[in-house]
A and B are shown apart, each in its own frame.
Chain A
């Protein structure tokens, strides 16, 4: 048996000029994502609607992918029917039976008809569906104002009958916004930032700075686990791990104590710039949030971003921490982020870090550190791990309700 899904495409419709390109991008994204987890599938594409068919036993996997692919507004398990009144009514009863098996009783019917040759108008068809369901399933009740489920019938190139659509991620298909380099740490914020930008159509590569022995192998493994969850939204990603110990030691040695955190942030930003250039990313993404910690005042952000000419996207800049945490829980990264492997930073960050960087002065201090050779060296030793989209996260995945 096959599971057949109707997919509502999202914002794509608003971008009439680029519609074809965006739809094509979404189609190829779906293709790639289904293929990368070995899901046999068939995709059909019509304006404003996609259809995916998968084997029944892989329905749960398919729904997991559909719920995490940006650019999808919603999806519904549907029945394909011939364009006859009888066939539509029969499908409607089957859909209703499925809903009632989940304990729902009150329903309404909604019909749309783009094929005007269909013998019934939308209103009439809805009424006939109501009658047919009531007759076949005497327990059911029509309730137009507070239905527990809606039976949708769409008469297009074929007839499609389905109950309420599950919400998708919405947003834009991956890659439509180009590629962003995400500064990924083991914390709560950066995975959320990556998720948010992935949803806005950015393809994502991630960069993690590994300062062994200050940061442990467990910390690195944790970042890889976060990347795995993130990859279910981005459709796979490259995780770059750059050794950062030498740079960190150099900063510790040569920078004024209250500037060490700031100089470290700037160094990371500059390293990101170098990597972004070489992988042809067009922006840098960070989890910074205004005022969250000392290094994230507006003055300090101005300083740290002064070492790059890429746009630095900070989707969490205006978010409250509680909201970020709720989102992290929703996307399934929170429980990984709070694993206790970050050990060194707390102890050795400066006791009174500089809060308000003066751009010229701090830039001069940064330039005097002459970190570029250290950063180039670090990137030349960086390891790239391809994190394919996988279904590992499916079991643990919490429901996403962005």
Chain B
């Protein structure tokens, strides 16, 4: 099996999972309990949090003496995105004593993962104003367009760090500066910037604080960790929509998963330590992939014009188009040849139109958008994997295209 779908999920690191299992078994107490086993579990949980913070923010920023924001463990990346978005509802509904709804506005993009995009649509249906900003043909959003979408009552701007289909790295620092300037023009402080950093963690350099973010979402299973655990970093406290036992600084109530937290921290630490080595490897594979594609007549690397080692893109993710052959058909055919890739984001593959939302938003013509697939690599990917993909794709394309 040639696995080239690491952006959907990565194979778990069995040592990390085993270690986390041992820790959770030994420290089984409920971290909220005020007895021995409880406080032992609590201190392990906090140890995991500190390790995670150190892995993502750096040692200095993670030090309890000079904390920069706080990490709350969540049930995954989607939940970590949902918490700040849904908090808008509480702000809108709870702002006025007379029960009237305060008008609030959200700025986001047309290329967000469903975790943000669908949530934004839900908010819109519930009365929150939402502006969707489209990307440029290179897959990146123009900070000026984000700034232009900011309104007087914009309370949140949500932009992802790395697009999950194109790998396009979004210019977050420029965006946060432009947003601040736009808000200043209204004589107010800037709206909070939420960053979906799920495809960034361990893959591209991303520091939420220096990017100007107020919150950021992370997930463990894209970098060797288990499913069901993510994290929300927040610079300041949030009025969340769901309440309960007040765990995780009230950001994510519910008994904490020490097993998940421990594994996530270990996976993130490993990702930090191996960052440069893996990045070099990914660039090498990306170069091989893009140049291989260029020798398949008709095939295109996306976004159009993307070449190897382009700093605008994550080297781990590449979309490619095979015009005249539907992406889903190619995915099935490759799967029969033992090669796993995806047609668009696996999370949106259920519905054909939504699955091509990002491609369409970049202004790609229908036949290119519908014929796109995503190839994503990881630490375990080899050159032979890339070559096997190129050969099988080339064969299938020649045989099956219209």
| Residues of A in contact with B (beta carbons under 8 Å apart) | 212-214, 216, 249, 252, 340, 343-344, 347-348
Contacts and interface: CB of A to CB of B under 8 A. Distances in A.
Given A213-B336, A214-B400, A216-B332, 17 more contacts: A212-B332, A213-B330, A213-B333, A213-B400, A214-B326, A216-B328, A249-B400, A340-B351, A343-B326, A343-B328, A343-B329, A343-B352, A344-B329, A347-B326, A347-B371, A348-B324, A348-B402
A343 to B, nearest CB: 5
A213 B392 CA distance: 14
Interface string B175-187: 0000000000000
B391 interface: no
B273 interface: no
Contacts of A214: 326, 329, 400
Interface residues of B, number: 17
A213 B331 CA distance: 9
A344 B333 CA distance: 13
A213 B402 contact: no
A298 B402 CA distance: 27
Interface in B297-355: 324, 326, 328-330, 332-333, 336, 350-352
Interface string B376-402: 000000000000000000000001101
B24 interface: no
Interface of B is mostly: helix
B370 interface: yes
Nearest to A348: B402
Contacts of A216: 328, 332
A252 B402 contact: yes
B367 A347 contact: yes
Contacts of B367: 347
Contact of A340 (B324, B333, B352): B352
A215 to B, nearest CB: 9
Interface of B: 324, 326, 328-330, 332-333, 336, 350-352, 367, 370-371, 399-400, 402
A343 B330 CA distance: 12
A340 B371 CA distance: 17
Nearest to A342: B352
A235 to B, nearest CB: 35
A214 B399 CA distance: 12
A347 B329 CA distance: 11
Contacts of B351: 340
A53 B204 CA distance: 73
A252 B400 CA distance: 9
A286 to B, nearest CB: 25
6 contacts: A213-B333, A213-B400, A249-B400, A344-B329, A347-B371, A347-B402
Nearest to A214: B329
A101 to B, nearest CB: 44
A343 B332 CA distance: 12
B352 to A, nearest CB: 6
B325 to A, nearest CB: 8
A212 B370 CA distance: 18
Interface centre among B333, B336, B352, B367 (most CB of A within 10 A): B352
Contacts of A347: 326, 367, 370-371, 402
Contacts of A343: 326, 328-329, 352
A71 to B, nearest CB: 42
Interface centre among A212, A214, A252, A347 (most CB of B within 10 A): A347
Contacts of A344: 326, 328-329
A336 B350 CA distance: 15
A348 B328 CA distance: 13
Nearest to A211: B329
A347 B330 CA distance: 13
A348 B330 CA distance: 14
A128 to B, nearest CB: 63
A343 B399 CA distance: 18
A214 B328 CA distance: 8
4 tightest Cβ-Cβ pairs between the two chains A and B: A213-B332, A348-B402, A213-B333, A213-B329
Interface centre among A212, A213, A216, A252 (most CB of B within 10 A): A213
A213 B326 CA distance: 10
Contacts of B329: 213-214, 343-344
A249 B352 contact: no
Contacts of B402: 252, 347-348
A216 B332 CA distance: 8
Interface centre among B324, B370, B371 (most CB of A within 10 A): B370
Contacts of A212: 332
Interface centre among B329, B350, B367 (most CB of A within 10 A): B329
Contacts of B370: 347
A69 to B, nearest CB: 37
Contacts of B352: 340, 343
Contacts of B326: 214, 343-344, 347-348
Nearest to B332: A213
A245 to B, nearest CB: 9
A5 B330 CA distance: 55
Contacts of B330: 213
Nearest to B399: A249
A348 B322 CA distance: 13
A344 B367 CA distance: 12
A214 B400 CA distance: 8
A344 B326 CA distance: 6
Contacts of B336: 213
Nearest to B353: A340
A216 B328 CA distance: 9
A81 B206 CA distance: 85
A348 B324 CA distance: 7
Nearest to B331: A213
Contacts of B399: 249
A252 B401 CA distance: 9
A216 B352 CA distance: 13
A281 B351 CA distance: 39
A124 to B, nearest CB: 67
A252 B352 CA distance: 24
A343 B351 CA distance: 10
Contacts of A252: 402
Nearest to A349: B402
A260 B267 CA distance: 53
A137 to B, nearest CB: 52
B328 to A, nearest CB: 5
B299 to A, nearest CB: 17
Contacts of A213: 329-330, 332-333, 336, 400
Nearest to A257: B402
A366 to B, nearest CB: 20
Contacts of B371: 347
A260 B324 CA distance: 15
A247 to B, nearest CB: 14
Nearest to B402: A348
Nearest to B336: A213
Interface centre among B324, B326, B330, B399 (most CB of A within 10 A): B326
Nearest to B366: A347
Contacts of B400: 213-214, 249
A279 B81 CA distance: 58
